[in-house]
Structure 1
Amino acid sequence: MKVKFFANYDKSADLLKRFKANYHIYDDGIIFTIDDDYDFAVVFNRTNEQLRTQAKVITVIQEPSWSPVHWNNRFLTQSDYLIIHDAQLFENTYQIELGKKVFECPSYMFYHDHIDKSLFMDTKVVQKTKRLSMIVSALSMDVGNYGKRLRLLRKILASDLDIDIFGRGFNISDERYKGGIEFKYTGLLPYEYSIAIENSNEKNYITEKFVDCVLCDVIPIYCGAPNLSQVYNDKYFHTINLDSHTIIDDIREIIKMPAPKQNLDSNKDRYFQQRNLYSLIKDLVKGD
């Protein structure tokens, strides 16, 4: 069986390249193609491209429920297989019945940097010389955690918290602000901890915000999916409440202790072994 990738945000050839860089493809159980001879279309969120009528459609949702990408999204209701993080939330939000076969599970997300996974295999040799980082953009929206994330940034800048801040779109006169970075891992690898705030607090919506940290052997200080501990090992992350009046002190309390070393059952291993999208696609294709 041949599989071709589609998305609302990238071309098939680039999606295939990223998929192979991101996931362990441990056998030849699937043939990937960028031509029109595919039997299965794997669609990330949605696509405006015309799909082969004979092809089965596997849709993988990677955006929160409120994203405009879901408005009038026929792939929510007409896909042969729909992989989604919170089925009831989507059905209630859009007053639709999802279909056809629905798999509710933690989000299958690419990590952020467009690099090969091999970089993350030997990160333990990198010395952790710094305590805390935060990677954040200036993007502001009236939904999700965007406003709260920027409010936390302002509180941090008003404090003397020992932190390095990375991100584009800011005009900040503070020596802790290091500017934008090309690759996210450069703002993670040297650090013990990093603040990671999802765009939305939805069940199972665990994105690269969290994953990028664990791949770099960094302990996330996290706000996002309320069921994170059901998916990842809670020995290797901390959570914070963005509405806490003592949030700066809460962060200080977390980082005053050295970050634990991730050995058995690390969250990096869980991501590569349990969140391998290749395995799921293969099971669906072979079981069809």
Structure 2
Amino acid sequence: MKKLLLYAFLLPTLIQPQQKKLRLLYDLAQDYGDFFQQDEHDNGFWKKFKKALHKKGYSAQAAKYSLQSLQDSYDADCVIFFNLPMSLTHGKLRPLRNAKTAAFLFEPPATSPHQYQQRRWDIVDNIFTWNDELIDNKKVHKFHWMQYNLNPTNPFMHDQRPFNKKKLCTMISSNRHSNHPQALFNKRLEIIDFFDNLNTYELDLFGRSCAGNRQKSYKGSVDNKYKCMSNYRFYICFENMDGPAGYITEKIFDCFFGGCVPIYLGAPNIDKYIPQNCFINMRNFNSYQELYSFIKNISAKKHEQYLTNIKNFLAGPQARPFSQEAMIETYLSCLKE
């Protein structure tokens, strides 16, 4: 009898609950492999996420989206898509009827319009978007663009040069195009042309395949954008798209991390999330000439105040929605309980 009782007490500890499965399928241009197998990828974010999933009883795997990787996910309890693949259909997801599914729409309509066709949203259980205008907190939920390099105790990625040693302005960009009426690619070209026509050589343009005939500004590609930015006072920070409320990507944060004051154009409600005293809002100027006169005449003291405001924002609670911890919480909300 004693042995029987002992076995009865031991039995619950010997039986381990079966792990649930999370599969993350990303529709990105490049194949990055399995994020969860990269120990220190993106400041260890995936390692932290994997640990949080393990506490919830989930194993995790990630793969570039393909028909094969989708079929390999048919036994999953939860499938998360990074961007909705154009080829994804109800039929292909039918074997996943018992799984919880969610899609995170990172790209805007200017570069990925198919993702915003409502019929596609019916394919998955939940949609997560940065676009404040689409949120209903039922089917469609909010996420903030996570900043891997957000470090409240050491906000700048490189040592800062003195104000009088910094050049005026820079931009790092690629040669992209969109016919979407709200796309800002042409606005970037406009401001580059404006600086070129000044003949003062006060804008340095970096990036791959972005020179075209703009040889005055173009300085080639860069290996470390933060180190590059630390040599300049201001950065032309135009999002890919103008107009959608809440569309705040890594672009403005890259400026912050580089210790460079952003000249921002993008989300009309940017000041809902980032204090106005951290950036220069392009919407406040009637022309590029007006903007140029403003930044040209900013004093060292005023510029330093911008940088202090940026540090205070990055170290404070208002930046937390863009943190790794907040993003993990958002991903965990997708899980099947």
Residues 283 and 163 of structure 1: CA distance in aligned 2, closer, same or farther (over 3 Å): same
> Does the aligned pair in 1 maintain the 2:273–2:318 contact within 8 Å?
no
* Separation of aligned partners in 2, 1:18 and 1:100: 35
Match among 61, 64, 72 for residue 33 of structure 1: 61
TM-score (normalised: structure 1): 0.76
The 3-state SS of whatever aligns with 2:332 is helix
Aligned pairs for 1:98-177 (under 5 A) are 101-105=139-143, 107-108=144-145, 121=154, 123=156, 126-128=159-161, 129-130=165-166, 131-143=168-180, 144-159=183-198, 160=200, 162-169=202-209, 170-172=211-213, 174=215, 176-177=217-218
**Which residue is 1:84 aligned to?**
129
2:101 counterpart (36, 57, 60): 57
Determine the C-alpha separation between the residues in 1 that align with 2:173 and 2:315.
Answer: 22
User: 2:115 maps to what in 1?
Assistant: 70
Q: Which residue of 2 aligns with 1:257?
A: 299
Of 252, 255, 278, the residue aligned with 2:328 is 278
What TM-score do the two structures reach when normalised by structure 2? 0.67
Question: What are the superposed Cα offsets for residues 157-195 of structure 1, whole Å, 9 maximum, x if unpaired?
Answer: 111262221122224464542112244334323333211
1:61 is displaced (CA, Å) by: 1.0
CA distance in 1, matches of 2:193, 2:127: 39
Q: Which residue of 1 aligns with 2:17?
A: none
Report the AA paired with residue 331 of structure 2. I
The Cα shift of 1:156 comes to: 1.2
Corresponding residue SS for 1:250: helix
Structure number with bigger Rg: 2
Equivalent residues, number: 273
SS, match of residue 83 in structure 1:
strand
**For residue 282 of structure 1, what is the amino acid of its counterpart?**
L
Cα deviations across residues 68-97 of structure 1 (Å, max 9, x unaligned)? Answer: 34265755233222111336569xxxxxxx
**Structure 1 stretch 205-214 or stretch 65-74: which is displaced more?**
65-74
Partner of 2:6: none
Matches of 2:235 and 2:216 in 1, distance apart? 18
> Shift of the alpha carbon at 1:207?
1.3
Specify the code of the residue in structure 2 equivalent to 1:133. T
After superposition, residues 147-226 of structure 1 pair within 5 angstroms as 147-159=186-198, 160=200, 162-169=202-209, 170-172=211-213, 174=215, 176-201=217-242, 202-226=244-268
| Aligned mates of 1:253, 1:18 — CA distance in 2 | 45
Identify which range, 270-279 or 127-136, moves more after superposition.
270-279
Q: Which runs of 5+ in 1 are unaligned?
A: 91-97
The aligned counterpart of 2:12 is none
CA distance in 2: counterparts of 1:46 and 1:132, whole angstroms: 36
More deviation, 267-276/5-14: 267-276
How far residue 226 of structure 1 moved from its aligned partner, in angstroms, is: 0.3
Q: Percent identity?
A: 23
Q: 1:278 to 1:30 in 2, by over 3 A?
A: same
One-letter code of the match for 2:196? L
Letter in 2 for 1:236: C
Structure 1 position 248, deviation (Å): 3.1
- Structure 2, unaligned stretches of length 5 or more? 1-19, 55-59, 63-71
Distance 1:7 1:173, change over 3 A: closer
